[in-house]
Structure formats: structure tokens, C-alpha cells
Structure 1
Amino acid sequence: MSFRALEKLHRVHEGYIQAHKVDELDILLVCNEGKLYAFKNYCPHQGVPLTHGTLENGAIRCPLHGFEFRLRDGCPLTGISAPLESVTLVYEGNTVGIDH
């Protein structure tokens, strides 16, 4: 495995939601309440990308059906039993990425 950069930290701000492609992985990087989170970029309900989801109260809401998922652990808060699939972040200098 090797480090794969997602974003420079100076570009990340509160409310940041951005999709990043690493080989076959589509990763959603989110900044909420000063913390960074990464998930595979799809809602487990119907596979809709969460890139245009909304952030509120430490959760992300799917733009299609409104299902909400807690950012700290990906657990669903409404209407669905499957969690988001989290991705472990790695930091190298002023860059955040993943080991892939």
C-alpha cells in the first residue's frame, strides 16, 4: 500500500464536501465541526453519490431520499439500516489522503 493524496489541508474548510477518485475508489471527503471524515461516496440505499448531500448537526443527508448518516461513525440516523462505509484517512505533511 502507498499514500494517495486527496487534498491539501489549506483547501479544506468547514462544510467542505468533495468527491475524490483513487483508482477504482470514489471517496467523499467531508469537513464538519473542524474534523475530517472520509467515506465511500454512495448512499447504501440506492448507490446515489453523496457529493451533493447536506451537512447538519454532525450528519450528512442523502440528496435523493433524505436518509441521514452520523459522520463520526457512518451509522444511519433515519430510515435505513446500512451504514456508510468509512475510509481511514492518513496525513502526510500538509496533505490528507489514504493508504491504497
Structure 2
Amino acid sequence: MRFYPLDKLINLHDHYTRHFKIDSAELLLIQRAGQRYLIEARCPHRDHPLDVATIADGVIQCALHQYQFAIADGRLIHATEEPCRSLRTFALVYEGNEVGVMLRDADD
């Protein structure tokens, strides 16, 4: 496992949303109501990018088919077509003045 820094803590604020690509992983770092979340950046239903999704009250809604997921744990809340798996979530890691994530190296 390796630490990948995402952003400096000073840059984070409510309504912060930023997409990151680390090797094959696409991640979305979100801050709402003082809480930070790291989720996969594409909807598991039809692989639509979630950086254009609506986020409100702890729920992210995909712009393509309006699937809704809890940003805290990734669980599917609402499906408009066939059900899909939950969003993958990732634990944030704080090192010094940065927030990041631990991911497996491509060599692992």
C-alpha cells in the first residue's frame, strides 16, 4: 500500500468536489457540512462521471439516470432502472497538512 496525497487541507472547504485519477482508480474527494468523503468517481450503474452529479443532504445523484447513493458509505438509496452495486468508498488518510488515500501500487 502506498500513500497518495490528494490535496492540502487549506484548500478544502464546504462544496469542495474534485476528481483524481491515480493509475486506474478514479476518485472523487468531497467536502460537505465539514465532513470529507472519498468515493469512486464513476456511477456503478452505467459508468457515468459523478463529478457532474448533484450532491445534497449526504446523497450524490448521478446526472445520467438519477441513481442516488449515500456519500458516507456508498450504499444505493434509489435506482430508476435495475439495481446496481454500491459506490466504493475509501478511507481518507491525513499526513501533515495533506489529505490522501492509501492504495495498492500497480506492482502489488
TMscore range, shorter length: over 0.9
Gaps of 5+ in 1: none
Q: Which runs of 5+ in 2 are unaligned?
A: 104-108
Say whether the 8 Å CA contact 2:69–2:77 is kept in structure 1. yes
Secondary structure of the 1:51 match is helix
Quote the sequence identity (%): 36
Is the CA contact (8 Å cut-off) linking 2:28 and 2:40 kept in structure 1? yes
- TM-superposition CA deviations, 1:28-87 (whole Å, max 9, x none): 111111111111111110011101111111111111111111111111111134210111
Question: Are 2:86 and 1:97 aligned?
Answer: no
- Preserved CA contact (<8 Å) 1:90 1:97: yes
CA distance in 1, matches of 2:10, 2:17: 14
Question: Pairwise mapping of residues 49-88 of structure 1 onto structure 2 (< 5 A)?
Answer: 49-79=49-79, 80-88=83-91
Deviating beyond 6 angstroms after TM superposition, the runs of 4 or more aligned structure 1 residues are: none
> Partner letter of residue 99 of structure 1?
M
Letter in 2 for 1:97: G
Q: Give the corresponding residue for 2:14.
A: 14
SS at match of 2:20: strand
What is aligned with 2:41? 41
The CA distance in 2 between the partners of 1:10 and 1:59, in whole Å, is 25
Q: Does 1:5 align with 2:8?
A: no
Structure 1: how far apart are the matches of 2:97 and 2:88? 25
Which of 28-37 and 78-87 deviates more?
78-87
What secondary structure does 2:77 align onto? coil
Q: How many residues are aligned here?
A: 100
Task: Tell me if the contact between 2:39 and 2:71 (Cα under 8 Å) persists in the aligned partners.
Answer: no
